[in-house]
A and B are shown apart, each in its own frame.
Chain A
Amino acid sequence: MTQEFTALAELMHDEVITHSLTRDITLVSGKKLVLLTLDNGLDHRKPSTLGPNTLLELKSTLTALSERAAAGEIDAVAITGKPYFLVAGADLSAVQRLNDPQAATAMATLGHQTYDLLADLGVPTFALINGLSLGGGLEIALACTYRTVSRSAGALGLPESFLGLIPGWAGIYRLPRLIGPEAAMKVIINNPWSNNRTLSGAEAFELGIADALYDSADFLERSLEFADEVLTGRREVTRPNAVDPADEAVAQRFVDAADQAQAFIDAKLGGAAPAPYKALEVFRQGIGRTQKESAQLEIAALTELMGTNEFRNTIYAFLDLVQKRGKRPVGAPSSKLARPVTKVGVVGAGLMASQLALLFVRRLSVPVVITDLDQSRVDKGLAYIHGELDKLQAKGRMSQDKVNRAKALVSGSISKEAFSDADFVIEAVFEELTVKQQVFAEVEAVVSSECILATNTSSLSVTEMGRNLKHPERLVGFHFFNPVAVMPLLEIASTQWTDESTVATAFALGKALRKTCIRSADAAAFIVNRVLLRLMSEVQAAFDEGTDAKTADNALAPMGLPMTPFTLLAMVGLPVAQHVTESLHAAFGERFKVSANVQHLIDAKVTKVWIKDEQGQQQLNPEAVAVIEQGDQPSSAEQILLRVQDALAEEIGLMLAEGVVAEPQDVDLAMITGAGWPMHLGGITPYLDQVGASERVNGRKFHG
């Protein structure tokens, strides 16, 4: 029977196997239960996962147990995990290797065959959800007859659709029937696409995923007592949320829930990634079908999805970039070279400066001093920081003691003398080179020669800022993204003078601030803004040439970017965007066109291209229409998409050639963490390879 999976097993010859360890247990009543522990033998830093060899071992173990059940030797089987984990889900590095459809089908089928044993073992099966249980891990639990969950079980969920798959080991079939279609859609669609939200043990219990909830301190003991009570008929399990879509009203609830989820995902993705839509399709088709029939649909869907670029890109983005590269930045000097930062100075007390000060004090718990030209601005900055701390306390994110401590650590001054004992001073003043040069000259006059000077500039030359410094080796670009508290990316830019100790300190500080740090050379706009501005410049140009606004703004919809170009423009603010574009134009020439129309809008004080009409429909802002002058050479949406793809391939190719970043992976990670670009594009360069832009423009692909 395992013949068909031999090739699959060999494909993952180096899999870290999660073993199926069994122990025979006599419960207090005398009932015989076999407790199966899923354990990869490694500590809690290495979650147990499900690869083909793991599934084959589980399958053969369960097969043997079903034989013992048939022989009347055992009364029940329970399955649990090593401490802190039931199972973290499918082994993504294994799934990544399932390139041909045969292997993908085999893997999908193997999961079903294994889990079906749990669903029909001949004796009741119990999942004791002791810890993290995601994707295929939670589907193991769903296959069992009963479930208990630990109050501290951490993350539970079905994140597959976010990772380019569907919960296709029957999760998509069993969950809605267990907890109702509305809640199931939240778990299957809404949560994964809401910052990958997961459920706590208590939430899972409330939804009806588990039949009992116990403290972690005696979780297994209580769970086995539960099993004993169920087996001896002393406990009746009721599932008020469980439904059967054979009932017409229930079937209608399934349809409605799917429609709602569809509306949610349309708003998020606009159809740009296939997985959540495939999930909805299988969910809908499952209505009125048996589990075995649904399984065939699930296997077909998984096979299809595993063959898509979107899936491969997502795994690349999630596993290789966010999980690995994001945690171990490429090009960061040894952390041993980092110097301690015991006091931070922030030049400026405006919104950006205040956000920076707030982040520093929250994450570093060291004194932070903000300065500005007059006391009223300083007071306003401090009031903003205090207000944000109070909000965090109100939300329960910070205790009153922690808020008190943070407030006591933040101070303000109108004199830069306050920086005299700081180890790190960052400026967030107006984006004007001479202003920043002046600021650094003043700061350098009071600080030690070791104190790191950092700039949060988004488009100016760090090198030029350092030209007149006595100690330019301690100057570094330290570029955050708005909103500072939310966006994970930090671009760290060094000049020809910046020494390795300064860069190491910047990376160590970035890590302490819990940011994803990427090293960039000192080139105008560094990484993210250069890519974004090139994109916006092309769309703006197409508009200026005569393309109607709607076509221009929606031309990139197939990419599934988080917002349209004109929406982004409005969010950044037209004057700021224009200012940065001018800097880029000065640095790189005509690739970054300064739009006359944008200038008209700025001059007319129009802030938005789009407004909503009374029906809530997006409409061109008449004020904008009044000042805009378009050409007579419109482009089609397809032409604009192609133009943008080619422009991005060109720009990123140039960035690599200029040494702005070490590898295309850095651009991809930057676009994901700094601009929220989707994982199904792999950031951007895998997508550019797949649509042929890389070869069209650069003559070769970015990858392989």
Chain B
Amino acid sequence: MSGLNELTIAAARDALRTGETTSADLTEACLAAIEGAGALNAFVHKTPEIARERAAAADKRLKAGDAPAMCGIPVGIKDLFCTKGVPSQAASNILKGFKPEYESTVSQQLADAGAVMLGKLNMDEFAMGSSNETSCYGNAVNPWRRGNEDAALTPGGSSGGSASAVAADLCLAATGTDTGGSIRQPAAFVGITGIKPTYGRCSRWGIVAFASSLDQAGPMTKDVRDAAIMLQAMCGHDPKDSTSADIPVPDFEAALTGDIRGKKIGIPREYRMDGMPDEIEKLWADGTAMLKDAGAEIVDISLPHTKYALPAYYVVAPAEASSNLARYDGVRYGHRAKLAQGDGITEMYEKTRAEGFGHEVQRRVMIGTYVLSAGFYDAYYNRARKVRALIKRDFETVFADGVDAILTPATPSAAFGLGEMADADPIAMYLNDVFTVTVNLAGLPGIAVPTGLDRQGLPLGLQLIGRPWEEGDLLNHAYVLERAAGFVSKPAKWW
């Protein structure tokens, strides 16, 4: 069988169960694809020995008839997840050489389900970025290009390596994490599906923390069914994460009925931004029409505090980051600066952190330090937390009015060129998260689905936002949108 690495999880699962293929074959196909895709810089730590070992074990389980859906499926793991004995650096020089003595709950659950880890995936340093350009490993590259141009484009961020790897068929699926849009924006930039579940669905234990009240893990996959299958394996209660929800996980794949008749879809007027490109405008209108044709009721809704989501996020997230990243002090793990004669412990901290953190991470840690400092805590941090409460209330109000899901664009543009934003101010980069960040602030589930191409031939995606804990219903809406849009384009292979 050729192109095993191009299979979806669902197709591979079925082929594995009928004995048409083996996990060993799937794994070799992916390892070969990874070897040939150095130009994408998606996999930054490869683990072929672990992959082959797990594939052999998965094939045994499959033969014995004890095979969960993810059994034997080759996946990539974002570098933010701690994986035992395998470098886990969060794409930062400050964690250079760090090999965890433990495994994150999510990657452990995937392993327990029989999934095969191929290696660790590139990302923005500490997940802070929207273009994968803040990584200590260098940029991950989008497999898509504009028309016949050969300019390298960003796969988005922070889960840029995950996005690039899935879109280029280097793995069947990958894990991502999403603090302000880091699963959904890259998924949209490379034409794949990415879901951020409700806050508390996936355990955060063993995932390098960025902003603990916003961080959630989720799958990045080739289609909606795969998102349902992989999310199922990733979530569930974990006593090691006190914010992990102790509620049952429903069968997400069974929720994909394709029937959304009578469902109410909200179109938030505040997401119609000034200067929105007409292509995005049209994509959104087309998506709305598709859901309407499927029998949903379309309603105009208002989320009045939308405009304040980005500034609130850029107070709350750096504040939490400055606290979380205080642990990188050169004492327990990772990098320690070489000290000069007479340097004390303060110099050790200051030099270590100056050498180990990249520019964007330093900036965010300092912003966070400032907004938490005496005299500014109320003016910035507390005010942002109040605005966050109002943003959440906006969503609660429309859900109480009977709205089942909300449709918005996933990103304000298609993928941009690597380096194109180098001279822009940080705010211009932050605007990438304008449609996604509200969802993190409110703790809601959100999914990006590819629905079209722009005039340069680059993928564009729409976002659906669901009610808390209703990922099944949300995935079903996404499934309807996916089928109606019929997005099947793949990047032409140049790497």
The answer on A and B forming one complex is no
Binding site for A on B (CB under 8 A): none
